[in-house]
Amino acid sequence: MSEEMILTNARIVLADSVLEGGTVRVSDGGILEIAEGRSNAAEAIDLEGDYLLPGLIELHTDNLEKHLAPRPGVRWPGVPALLAHDAQIAAAGITTVFDAVVLGNTIGNNTRLELLDQSVEAIDQARAAGLTRADHFLHLRCEVADPDVLNQYEKVQGHPLLRLVSLMDHTPGQRQFVDIAQYRLYYQKKHNVSEAELQEMIVSTKANQEKYADPHRIALAAACRDRGIPIAAHDDATMAHVAESASLGITISEFPTTVEAATGAHDNGMATIMGAPNVVRGGSHSGNVAAHELAELGLLDALSSDYVPISMMHAAFKLNQQHGLTLPQAVATVSRNPARMLKMDDRGEIAAGKRADLARVTLHQGLPLVRQVWREGSRVA
């Protein structure tokens, strides 16, 4: 943790405005003061008119999994994989990350269960040794149709880093995969599943869904409520889905697939998260609602990088440049709003008394480039 630092000549993105040519003074890992004008202190760091943003807060990323299993059949050692993921996260301007690990299978093998154990162990070891650049927490993604998901959850539910649980149902014909053709395309391309294997998956997952999904969803939600763990609904598509989520005490709608579901979520007091890659690409790769459409309707609260860490910064600026949000509003979707959703009151905005989690960003032909990143006042990228 740093002792004192002065960052000056910056475009400081505050909660409701941009302070041009301002100065931020950091002491003992926290923001001590924000001032107008340039500092004359000899030790001040000149940011040359670049933007200074709060460090980004990522609630749902599958990026660690890609480092642990870089190719089919290949497993990478846990801590090196975690540190490679962590470096990529920090370089994207993300200072707080919720590593999303999956409980339950949808592809007929034990890959995800193996990665769960490896992920948790690697995060624990790297944090204990002080090796991580970003602040890492756990987000458990629970496949409610898996027969063994409750047993898997019980083994991890007491982990001190567990701060978020999402309830998922990737059964063909449900939610994200209402169109079974999209389900077929996704699993054959991503997991190299043969037609025969795919047909077997469809039959078995549908049978498990009918038997387990509802009781598991209810049981997992109750277990989270008992421990005060925030719950997210994953891929709600209809008002019936939203009503069910509201009845279970769910406070976050993660990747709603329709305007109807996003509207219903807001009407029921739930915050919404959409994928930043959806914004960058201009639409959903699964054929669902475009995130920028929800933003323009006032139905988007937060963005997640999902599978591309750098997409959060890119998407935030694109929301400002092309979709009508002010820069503070756009930046809030990747900082202040996620912090509030998980009651992390010590971070998420540039304000006196908050953590000095900061990202220096310059624009190149409208594209945001992350130049420097600090976590609690210490340089991490």
Report whether pLDDT(227) > 50. yes
The tokens describing 277, both together, are 């890659």
pLDDT at residue number 1: 47
Of 120, 127, 125, the residue nearest 96 (C-alpha): 127
pLDDT at residue number 246: 96
Q: What's the pLDDT band for 123 if we cut at 50, 70, 90?
A: very high
Which stretches of the chain are DSSP H helices?
Answer: 63-68, 78-91, 111-128, 149-156, 180-191, 195-227, 239-247, 259-267, 276-281, 291-296, 311-322, 327-332, 336-341
Stretch 207-219: mean pLDDT:
88
Decide if 166 contacts 121 (C-beta within 8 A): no
Of 106, 103, 101, 97, the residue nearest 69 (C-alpha): 101
- What are the chain's domains? 1-54+349-381 (2.30.40.10), 56-346 (3.20.20.140)
CA distance 187 to 184: 6
Handedness of CA 285, 71, 151, 138 (dihedral sign): negative
Residue with tokens 């941009």: 18
The tokens describing 331, both together, are 């930046």
Report whether pLDDT(114) > 90. no
Report whether pLDDT(194) > 80. no
3-state secondary structure (DSSP) of residue 120 = helix
pLDDT at residue number 105: 73
CA distance 1 to 91: 19
Q: What is the pTM of this model?
A: 0.91
CA distance 362 to 265: 35
3-state secondary structure (DSSP) of residue 35 = strand
Report whether pLDDT(238) > 50. yes
3-state secondary structure (DSSP) of residue 213 = helix
pLDDT digits (tens, 9 = 90+) for 333-346: 999 999 999 999 99
Give, in order, the Cα–Cα distances in Å from 372 to each of 7, 50, 53, 359, 367: 11, 10, 11, 6, 16
pLDDT at residue number 233: 96
